[in-house]
Amino acid sequence: MKILLSFLVWALMALAAYGQAPVRYEYMQISAIESVVPGGLGRSRLISTSKEGQMMEKELLNFFSLVGINFGNVQNNDRVIATRLNELSEEGWELFTVNSGVYGPGDKTGIFITRYVFRRPAK
């Protein structure tokens, strides 16, 4: 009897789900580009593009200063990025995936790039 009841519950749930349309999402991506150039000479930014095509930029600090890695700058960048991620979460965006990469033409220069892809149900 329990098996039959379990099957009936499962069958009813499957039928209810079958009639529903799949969820459609809209996506947004933001990119954190962090410079690894000695002496603080590079440029670092947090960049996103609105639905209307407007680019929004927040300045990030470079990882290096004249004396080497600047952990205060790393801390600042973490705060700026986390603040933006929290803003997007409050707007209903879900962090869907994160991709990161490193580019450096030589041993002493380069960039870290992290792409955050968000989604939310389309309206």
d(CA 106, CA 122): 43
Question: Are the C-beta atoms of residues 34 and 60 closer than 8 Å to each other?
Answer: yes
What pLDDT does residue 83 have? Answer: 96
pLDDT value, residue 17: 65
Q: pLDDT tens per residue, the chain (123 residues)?
A: 677 777 777 777 776 667 677 889 999 999 999 887 777 677 899 999 888 889 999 999 888 877 888 899 899 999 999 999 999 999 999 999 999 998 887 767 788 899 999 999 998
Reading the block at residue 57, the tokens are: 């930029």
For 13, 40, 66, 114, the CA distances from 70, given in Å and listed in that order, are 56, 9, 9, 19
What is the token pair recorded at 72?
A: 């205060």
What is the pLDDT, as a whole number, of residue 71?
Answer: 92
- Which H or E run includes 56? strand 55-60
Q: Six-digit token pair at 115?
A: 């792409």
Res 21: pLDDT: 74
- Break the chain into its structural domains and give their ranges: 24-121
Cα 111 from Cα 100, distance rounded (Å): 11
